[in-house]
Amino acid sequence: MLAAVVAAALVLGVLLMAVVPGTTTVDEEADDQTVAETTEADLSGIPDVIAVVNGEEIGRDDFVAVYEPQFQQSVAAGQPVDQDDLKKQTLDLMVDNALLLQEAEARGFSASEKEIEESLHAFAIDSGMASADEYLAALQEQQGFTKDEVRAQVADGIVIEALVDAEVGDEPIAESELRTLYDQAVAQQEQLGQAHGGAAEVPSFEQVRPQLEEAAQSQRERETLMRVVDEAREDAEVEIRL
């Protein structure tokens, strides 16, 4: 259905390098040597301070805490992993995150305890857990993150989201923008129908308007996030030591 196509196209703004509970499984029948080679992250040669962003250090431990889950997710998905490239991508994201936080804090944005608790509760529900405490305990058990570390990450996400919301503003999404998204989704749905030898079921524009509005808003937030990062990088002093 077109609604599913639109929903699949939604890209939520990654305003927080969030950690979610999960495990990586490996085929038990795989050769032991192959498993060791493909599931072990290479952490050699990573300095104690991997980058400095406007005087703020990004430490080795913080980098590893982000890099290892990214590596394991790629391995679990069966993707070939170029660890040098993945390290660079991970560090670039961490530098962007630091710049966003610095900009948000400079503008006076902060996260209240109530906002942190509400976000943790939402993450818990999304993860199929009954409470924030259960969610935090799972993160600590499965990935080694302490409650304070997770709460700090959640707070960072709230602050960055507030920055992006302020930049995006409340200007309504133009009807023409929604129509363009609808036409794109219809074309994609028709292609899928042809590929499977059947006629595509195409709902009306009004039927999928909520999904279209969500997709357009997500796109606007994503573009705003990229613009804020690009502007922050122009004047930033960034030293990479990787």
Residue 116 lies in a domain: yes
- Tell me the pLDDT tens digit for each residue of 46-64: 999 999 999 999 999 999 9
Residues 35-49 have a mean pLDDT of: 80
Residue 218 lies in a domain: no
**What does the alpha-carbon distance between residue 201 and residue 178 come to, in Å, rounded to a whole number?**
19
Separation in Å, CA 76 to CA 70, 71, 82, 171: 10, 9, 14, 41
Identify whether the C-beta of residue 48 lies closer than 8 Å to the C-beta of residue 76. Answer: no
Residue 80 lies in a domain: no
pLDDT, position 199: 64
More confident: 29 or 178 = 178
Spatial CB neighbours of 73, under 8 Å, sequence gap ≥ 6: 24
Phi and psi at 24, nearest 5°, equal -105, 125
Residue 192 lies in a domain: no
**pLDDT-based confidence at residue 36 (cuts at 50, 70, 90):** very low
Domain housing 136: 110-168
Residues 8-13 have a mean pLDDT of: 31
pLDDT above 70 for 26? no
- Tell me the pLDDT tens digit for each residue of 60-94: 999 998 899 889 989 998 888 999 999 999 999 99
pLDDT, position 200: 64
pLDDT, position 240: 97
Return mean pLDDT, the chain.
Answer: 82
Residue 147 lies in a domain: yes
Residue 29 lies in a domain: no
- Tell me the pLDDT tens digit for each residue of 112-159: 999 999 999 999 999 899 999 999 999 889 878 889 989 999 999 999
Residue 141 lies in a domain: yes
**What does the alpha-carbon distance between residue 80 and residue 226 come to, in Å, rounded to a whole number?**
27
Residue 55 lies in a domain: no
pTM over 0.85: no
pLDDT, position 50: 97
Name the domain count of the chain. 1
pLDDT above 80 for 13? no
